[in-house]
Structure 1
Amino acid sequence: MFPYMIGEDKDGYKPALEYAVKCFAEKAPLKMSEKSGATFDSKQSTMRIKSLGQMLDVKYPEGEIVFSNSKHMPPWNWRWLILHYLSRADNTPITNKLISYRELENGSVNYPAILSKIINPLVKKFSQEPVEQIKAACLKLGASIEEGGDVCAKIHLFPKFPLTIKLWLGDEEFKGSANILFDISANQYLDTEAINEAGIMVSYFLIKQYELMQTRNC
């Protein structure tokens, strides 16, 4: 795990987490694991799921989440997304057909937030940065590098929920651009509000990972 991945509880988000835990606890753990790509250890009553290159343990039915072989827990929004994903997953196959946020259920409503909290920060951070160094940061989050754009990284937030970040770098004449895309099956695993939070979190993590790597290279 990386330092920016370690979080603490925030009281302001306690109701959202409590509701996510309630939904999680109402589902059968073995069914959730089968539909989500997680595994379930019945002896330990723990689900294990891979996310952003990290393994995390989810206690059932309490919904407590820590990094595997650690006592550290991820930030509240990551924990909330994990519980939401496990509760909602229905085993719909990944199609590799990509859609924009606006093509999700009610996606047009929150699109301004996508621009201000995901697209614009990515452009601001990466438009003048070296391609190979950006790709290296993506790989640290468990990404696979695909064709398309100057950088095209498919990042598995969860086993059956990838998102794709595309970057086109700028130069003296043109400003760079960015986009975030989702598999057409995305709403089978997270609702659109959660997908919004997922995109914000992943773009933030990518920026922090890049900054961390730059600091260590100094």
Structure 2
Amino acid sequence: MSKNGGAIFDSNQSIIRIKSLGQVFDIKHPEGNIYFNGSKHRPAWNWRWLILHYLSRADATPIIDKLISYRELEHGNVNYPAILSKCIDPLVKNLLQESVEQIKKACLMLDASIEQGADVCAKIHLFPRFPLTIKLWLGDNEIKGSANILFDLSANHYLDTEAINEAAIMVSYFLIKQYELMYRTI
């Protein structure tokens, strides 16, 4: 599981160590208990579920570097309205009026790499072999802004489409919250 998912197995401690959104997690093997590295604090249940789902499904398929939309995933058309309402629309509502540089800095806090292809194009590794790419086009007086979340063609080798839905919701939410923590605190 560790090798297939790009994680590290510490056989002395019987711990799988995996990086996600700039955080490192320790997963006790075989129990599956997950903690932030070096602490007794646990991530939210959906994050823990995604980590276990990712590790159990991982098959070592390399990242292909070909982006696809949610609709292009296995059975992706079925849940596209959820991706739109729970991921893309909140990005539009919360970030499109903000500074490009500030949005990029918030993305970097989630261990993203900033790429070309939009006003903001951030590849965010939820897991070592599972990147999501968030694209934001801020628009202007003549053109309305928009957003999209894209996935690597290899995505279904690591999460099923339902779990990818949850992953996209989580990453979108974390990016918005990271931005708010950095720039909207009183």
Classify the TM-score, shorter chain.
over 0.9
Secondary structure of the corresponding residue to residue 108 of structure 1: helix
Q: CA deviation at 1:126?
A: 1.1
Query: Could you tell me which residue of structure 2 aligns to residue 194 of structure 1?
Result: 163
Deviation at 1:128, TM superposition (A): 1.0
CA distance, structure 1, for counterparts of residue 124 and residue 14 of structure 2: 28
CA contact (8 A) 1:128 1:171 kept: no
Q: Distance in 2 between matches of 1:71 and 1:78?
A: 16
Q: 1:27-176 alignment to 2 at 5 Å? A: 32-176=1-145
Match of 1:43, SS state, is coil
Name segments (4+ residues, structure 1) moved above 6 Å: none
Instruction: Compute the displacement of 1:71 (Å).
Output: 1.1
Report how far residue 70 of structure 1 moved.
Answer: 1.1
- Please give the alpha-carbon distance, in whole angstroms, between the structure 2 residues aligned to 1:76 and 1:86: 16
Selected match of 2:174 from 205, 211, 215 = 205
% identity of equivalent residues: 77
SS in 1 for 2:171: helix
1:48·1:55 contact (CA, 8 Å) conserved in 2?
yes
- TM normalised by structure 1 equals 0.84
How many residue pairs get aligned? The number is: 186
> What secondary structure, in the 3-state scheme, does the structure 2 residue paired with 1:172 have?
coil
Q: Distance in 1 between matches of 2:167 and 2:117?
A: 22
Q: Unaligned stretches of 5+ in structure 2?
A: none
Alignment-derived partner of residue 151 in structure 2: 182
- Distance in 2 (alpha carbons) for counterparts of 1:83 and 1:33: 11
Q: Which stretches in structure 1 are left out of the alignment for 5+ residues?
A: 1-31
Q: Distance in 2 between matches of 1:174 and 1:126?
A: 16
- Which whole-Å deviations, capped at 9, do the CAs of 1:32-52 have from their partners, x for residues lacking one? 111010011112111000000
* Alignment-mate amino acid for residue 120 of structure 1: D
Q: TM-score, normalised by structure 2?
A: 0.98
